[in-house]
Amino acid sequence: MAGKSANAGRRLLVLKHNRWWFRRAIPAACQRALERGKFYMVNLETSDLKVAQRLRDALEIETSKLYADIRSGKTVAKQTLSAREQGLLYRETLAEAAQRDTGEPDDDALEIVRLAAEAAADALRNEKDRQAFLDALHAKEDVAAHVEAHLATLNVIPKSKGERRGQIGRFAEWAKKQRPALTLDRIDRRQAGKYVSEVIDQMDDKTQSKHLMALRGYWSYLAARGIVEVPESAPRGSGWPWNDQQIRSKTTRVERGKREEKEREFTGDEVKRLLYAPYPKGMMKAHESQLRDATKIALLSGLRMDEVLTLWVEDIKQAGDGAGLVFDIQAGKTEAAARPVPVHPALTEVVQRRLNDAKGKNKPSQMLLFDELASERDPKDVFSKRFARFRKALGVHDKRDGKRRSLVNFHSARRWFATTADRKGQQEAVIKDVIGHLPDKKNTTRASYIARSSGAQMRACVEVVTLPERD
């Protein structure tokens, strides 16, 4: 029996810039009706393959039915709403009637919507559907019921969406464990305060702030959609009941000799070990070029791990304004992340080798430069763990007491690039443009009036950085 293809799980899925897309060919007979060209493309807004697979399966069913309806001559109509979706729609309509622009509820409209909601519930013969309708209507839903819809409205990178999903999910799990379990309609300031005391207060300062920000953002979305009710005294979109929650700070006075150590750049000796030391015994030899190549690219460009691993063949191109050959980064962590980064001359061999396949032929334009990671469920996670084992085996490790992580990691290559460029006299503004950092908001002239550095300036910044020589 033939073995299962390594790419079977990626059927109808395409990874571009760390986001999965659903991509399915449209039959010729359906192209005119759909007016979408030859392919049905949907950005799934996730970097998680399992999530993408679930969305893919649903879209495959939907598009199959759509194609069949078009072939049979049926009029293509919107998908029928589920019982839960109907209940949610009525709840949103009730919220709109209660919050008119005048600030006063429209009592007549409210009564009409309430009667319509009752009739809609009575029309559902299936008890399970009726209960789902009523739960949505009265917000008696799981705390995480609307997380994916909320995340779809955010203009942030997949990593940030994943962090917020985890932060909201942690609160949702806590809510389930309460007795009785807490649903959306039962979350008030008292319950929010209890969670802050029991969970958030135990986190470090930065994590506390991120966690509260995620919950405020989610509740602001829920309130705007009419899914949860907020007191009249709370400003609309305020993130009640998470506003003004008092957090117990864990920051303490720094005594002499107790200065907090922060994550740092690689030292010159650590760079040499990562690039030139014998490959560690016990690690798969097939992974060596992947680890060394990615490290070298990051050291000589300042690219983030995500940016290195999601480079496509078509992202290596010639640019004007003196930039020459560049890594054309299309998206990223901030609006400054989309930028052309000149390819360092010392990376020519690595880039040219990776533009070709194992047979020496040109790779397709939409293939990853690090295509050996394409079949992994989570390429970034797999690579990150490999790199951690690699650097530790080479003695590139700096773990301090009380610190969860080593002070050096893959991001240290990006720090090394920026530090080296600075030490060699490059302007901070140009370094920021190369590594994709936003200008300082306090510097109004730079932020509002001066365009991004020229390609020639960015190339000069990149080329001034050189790797240490072998011993």
Say what the pLDDT of residue 41 is: 78
Q: Does residue 258 lie within any of the structural domains? A: no
Say what the pLDDT of residue 304 is: 93
Q: Does residue 2 lie within any of the structural domains? A: no
28, 51, 71: which is the final residue of a domain? 71
Kindly list the strands in the beta sheet with 13-16, ordered across the sheet, starting from the edge strand earlier in the chain. Answer: 13-16, 19-25, 39-43
Say what the pLDDT of residue 468 is: 94
* Residue 63 and residue 87 in one domain: no
Give the three-class secondary structure for 13: strand
At residue 154, φ and ψ (nearest 5 deg) are -90, 135
Say what the pLDDT of residue 73 is: 66
* Residue 272 and residue 368 in one domain: yes
Cα 417 to its chain centre, rounded Å, is 24
Q: Does residue 222 lie within any of the structural domains? A: yes
Say what the pLDDT of residue 403 is: 72
Say what the pLDDT of residue 379 is: 87
* Residue 329 and residue 439 in one domain: yes
Distance CA 455, CA 463 (A): 12
248, 280, 298: which is the final residue of a domain? 248
* Residue 405 and residue 282 in one domain: yes
Q: Does residue 26 lie within any of the structural domains? A: yes
User: What tokens appear for 100 in the block?
Assistant: 């008119």
User: What tokens appear for 213 in the block?
Assistant: 């920000």
Say what the pLDDT of residue 194 is: 87
* Residue 107 and residue 51 in one domain: no
Instruction: Tell me the pLDDT of the chain (471 aa) as tens digits.
Output: 344 444 667 888 888 777 788 888 887 777 776 665 677 777 776 777 887 787 787 778 777 877 777 767 654 443 345 676 677 667 666 666 555 444 555 566 666 666 777 777 777 777 877 777 777 777 677 888 888 888 888 887 777 888 899 999 999 899 888 877 788 877 888 888 888 888 888 877 778 888 888 998 888 888 877 777 777 666 655 678 888 776 666 555 545 555 557 889 999 999 999 999 999 999 999 999 999 999 999 999 999 999 999 999 999 999 888 889 999 988 655 555 688 999 999 999 999 999 998 788 889 988 899 999 988 878 888 999 999 999 999 999 998 876 778 899 999 999 999 999 999 999 999 999 999 887 766 666 666 666 788 999 999 999 999 999 988
Q: How many domains is the chain partitioned into structurally?
A: 4
* Residue 115 and residue 215 in one domain: no
Say what the pLDDT of residue 35 is: 61
* Residue 447 and residue 362 in one domain: yes
Residue 322 Ramachandran class (φ > 0 left, ψ -120 to 50 alpha, else beta): left
Provide the whole-model pTM: 0.55
Q: Quickly tell me which residue has 């893919």 as its tokens.
A: 56
Per residue in 4-32, pLDDT (tens digit) is 444 667 888 888 777 788 888 887 777 77
Q: Does residue 261 lie within any of the structural domains? A: no
* Residue 299 and residue 238 in one domain: no
Say what the pLDDT of residue 92 is: 65
* Residue 401 and residue 447 in one domain: yes
Distance CA 128, CA 49 (A): 31
Distance CA 226, CA 113 (A): 14
Which pairs with CB-CB distance under 8 Å and at least 24 residues apart come from 323-327?
Answer: 323/454, 323/455, 323/456, 323/458, 323/459, 324/455, 324/459, 325/351, 326/455, 327/301, 327/303
Q: Does residue 289 lie within any of the structural domains? A: yes
Per residue in 328-339, pLDDT (tens digit) is 988 655 555 688
Torsion of CA 144, 157, 45, 217, to 10 degrees: 30
* Residue 431 and residue 287 in one domain: yes
Torsion of CA 375, 381, 385, 386, to 10 degrees: 30
* Residue 277 and residue 168 in one domain: no
Q: Comparing C-alpha atoms, which of 192, 194, 188 is closest to residue 231?
A: 188
For residue 206, the enclosing domain spans: 143-148+156-248
Q: Does residue 259 lie within any of the structural domains? A: no
CB atoms within 10 A of CB 302: 26
CATH of the domain at 394: 1.10.443.10
Q: Does residue 254 lie within any of the structural domains? A: no
* Residue 14 and residue 101 in one domain: no
48, 71, 94: which is the final residue of a domain? 71
